[in-house]
Amino acid sequence: MSKNIRKKKRIKKRKKHSASNFMPPINANPTLNQNNFEKLPKIEVSCQKDLNSEELQKVKKRLNFANHNDFRKLGYIRIVDADAIKLPSKELTTGCYFPAKGSKKAEIWLSYDLLKRQKGIEGLFDRLFYKDRLFENLFHELGHHKAKLTHSVDRFENEAYAEKFMLAYRKEWRSHYGPSKLYIAVYKFIIKILRITLIAFLFPFRNIGKDINLFYRNLTGEISLEEFNESFGINQAVPKENKKKWTHPLNKKQYRERFKLTER
């Protein structure tokens, strides 16, 4: 059987089953007891900088929030240098999961940059919107480990399962350590007003240039933020090779819509 025929059969099988029925359900079951740190996987520091007690506690607090049954067969949480983890596209990323291989247990690698306090505009927005990059990366990779322990997760669903795992736990995390419901309601209202205002302002100019058109389409939800960033980058520079660039599944709007994944 040729490679193309096998690929067509896999695509046909995926279309036959809806994402909601095909993927096993994910129920967040957080651990709220703060005295279970000794039961956590070992945190291994493999970067040039040493973790101080505050940074180590930051990782442990978030790790302890997960259901401890999900740590089965997980060896280490490894903190590495910012340039140690790369995607197949050669781009740097902040987290990675390495499944068990032979006698070697599975590992989660996290970039040391996730432990640093963000400065400038990015740090201001992270604090304003209660964005926790360390939590999101850690629990996304934990989701990959959980998917390995859940045999009914298809390879095509792997990223979606990991993201849904993270989103389920992030909702619980924010209910315990995040902003009040009033803060969230006011924040969503302000963002909605700003978005509608920008869409109305850009509507007459949406076809003037490619960059404005991309920005407008992102605001209206026609393309995702990741697709906008990727397309904008391609518009600014001509690729040196004609080889198709690898794109992470979560950066594809079609993939996110199929599994009903919200933007982070």
Amino acid 3: pLDDT? 61
What confidence score (pLDDT) does residue 212 get? 86
The ranges assigned to domains in the chain are 34-116+124-177, 181-258
Rounded Cα distance between 259 and 252, Å, is 11
Q: Mean pLDDT across the stretch 10-37?
A: 71
Instruction: Pick the more confident residue, 204 or 34.
Output: 204
- The reported pLDDT for the residue numbered 232 is 59
Q: How confident is the model at residue 42 (pLDDT cuts 50, 70, 90)?
A: very high
One-character DSSP codes across 210-263: HHHHHHHHHHHTSS-HHHHHHHHHHHHS--SS-SPPP--GGG-HHHHHHTTPPP
% of the chain residues with pLDDT over 90:
45
pLDDT of residue 243: 60
Q: Give the pLDDT score at 238.
A: 42
Task: Report which listed range, 36-40, 74-78, 213-217, is most confident.
Answer: 74-78
pLDDT of residue 7 exceeding 70: no
Q: What value does the CA radius of gyration of the chain take, rounded to a whole number of Å?
A: 20
Describe the strand order of the beta sheet including 95-98 as a list of residue ranges.
42-46, 74-80, 106-111, 95-98
Is the confidence at residue 56, as pLDDT, over 70?
A: yes
Q: How confident is the model at residue 4 (pLDDT cuts 50, 70, 90)?
A: low
Q: 154: closest CA among 23, 17, 16, 21?
A: 23
Is 78 within 8 Å of 46 (Cβ atoms)? yes
Can you tell me the mean pLDDT for 100-129?
83
Q: Which region, left, alpha or beta, applies to residue 130 given φ > 0 means left and ψ of -120 to 50 means alpha?
A: left
Fold designation for 34-116+124-177? Collagenase (Catalytic Domain) (3.40.390)
Cα 236 from Cα 197, distance rounded (Å): 27
Pairing of strands 106-111, 74-80: parallel
pLDDT for 177 beyond 80: yes
Query: If pLDDT is split at 50, 70 and 90, which confidence band does 9 have?
Result: low
Whether residue 242 has pLDDT greater than 80: no
Who's near 215: CB < 8 A, 6+ residues apart? 202, 228
Across 60-88, average pLDDT: 94
Q: Is the pLDDT of residue 105 over 70?
A: yes
State the pLDDT confidence band at 108, using cuts at 50, 70 and 90. very high
pLDDT given at position 21: 54
Confidence bin at 122 (pLDDT 50/70/90): low
Distances (CA, A) of 130 to 80, 171, 234: 24, 12, 31
- Rounded Cα distance between 43 and 59, Å, is 8
Average pLDDT along the chain = 84
